[in-house]
């Protein structure tokens, strides 16, 4: 059983992030909230999202799993304005999920969860941790997109840097440690990542948020940010691109 009401903005934040990776996702539902883990088909990135009961306007659920087609939920979101309440209810008998927005009811077949494998997110201790406003990263990405298809993230105790190096041109975004840029790094760390994955995720983050970036040398980067005003969290892990010598 699953029956809940959520503000459209929270659902949109959730769906935007997932849709950068996959088309179908399995939500794990419990009395305390919902969660999901997903990996993209190329196994380059994975995301782990939790949304606690407190994020919802109303929430009733037993332990269950539902498989959802992300594009269909995007269609539902188009029916809602910012601030609208979206109601969701599992119709277990017909294997459907029923959304209501205003006086529109949208029923959709669930996706068979057995085709949606379980995802194991590896535990990783990363050496450096940086916290920045996402808008700065969004500008750095915008500048980088015509330059190259990969991007380096570099941090030491004093600055965080995003560096993109093309054949003829290059882009640097340099952020010095400050009140708004928090850096916790004992030594210099640096890894290179596929720009498209990094870009798609960073663009999906609402621009009024701060993101935490956990970084190490030639390790995956973990990007963490809040959903639903702190009642949810997104943890995104992106594999490095390791340069062959």
Contact positions vs its own copies (CB under 8 A): 72, 75-76, 78-79, 101-109, 136, 139-140, 142-143, 146, 168-175
Give φ, ψ of 177 to 5 degrees: -55, 135
Closest CB to its own copies among residues 3, 107: 107
Q: Which is nearer to its own copies, 40 or 172 (CB)?
A: 172
> Toward its own copies, which CB reaches closer, 1 or 104?
104
d(CA 138, CA 124): 25
CB of 199 to its own copies, least distance (A): 14
Q: Kindly report the backbone phi and psi dihedral angles of residue 167, in degrees, each rounded to the nearest multiple of 5, phi listed first.
A: -65, -40
Beta carbon of residue 82, minimum distance to its own copies (angstroms, whole number)? 15
DSSP β-bridge partners for residue 223: 213, 236
Query: Scanning the structure block, which residue is given the tokens 């010598």?
Result: 245
CA nearest 184: which of 104, 100, 126?
126
In whole angstroms, the minimum distance from the beta carbon of 158 to its own copies comes to: 14
Which lies closer to its own copies via its Cβ, residue 5 or residue 40? Answer: 5
State in angstroms the smallest separation of the CB of 66 from its own copies: 15
Sequence-separated (6 or more) residues with CB below 8 Å from residue 213: 129, 130, 131, 132, 153, 160, 221, 222, 223, 224
């Amino acid at each position: 059983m699953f029956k809940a009401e959520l503000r459209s903005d929270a659902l949109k934040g959730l769906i935007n992030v997932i849709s950068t990776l996959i088309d179908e996702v399995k939500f794990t539902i419990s009395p305390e909230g919902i969660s999901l883990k997903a990996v993209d088909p190329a196994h380059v990135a994975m995301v782990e999202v939790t949304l606690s009961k407190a994020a919802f306007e109303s929430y009733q659920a037993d332990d269950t799993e539902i498989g959802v087609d992300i594009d269909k939920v995007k269609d539902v979101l188009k029916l809602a304005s910012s601030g609208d309440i979206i109601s969701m209810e599992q119709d277990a008998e017909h294997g459907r999920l029923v959304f209501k927005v205003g006086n529109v009811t949208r029923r959709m077949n669930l996706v068979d969860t057995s085709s949606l494998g379980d995802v194991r997110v590896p535990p990783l201790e990363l050496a450096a941790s940086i916290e920045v406003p996402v808008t700065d990263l969004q500008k750095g990405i915008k500048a980088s997109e015509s330059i190259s298809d990969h991007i380096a993230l570099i941090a030491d105790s004093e600055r965080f840097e995003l560096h993109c190096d093309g054949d003829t041109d290059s882009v640097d975004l340099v952020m010095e440690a400050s009140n708004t840029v928090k850096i916790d790094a004992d030594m210099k760390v640096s890894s290179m990542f596929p720009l498209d994955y990094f870009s798609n995720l960073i663009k999906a983050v609402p621009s009024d948020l701060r993101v935490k970036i956990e970084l190490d040398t030639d390790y995956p980067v973990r990007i963490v940010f809040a959903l639903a005003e702190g009642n949810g969290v997104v943890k995104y892990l992106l594999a490095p691109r390791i340069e062959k010598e």
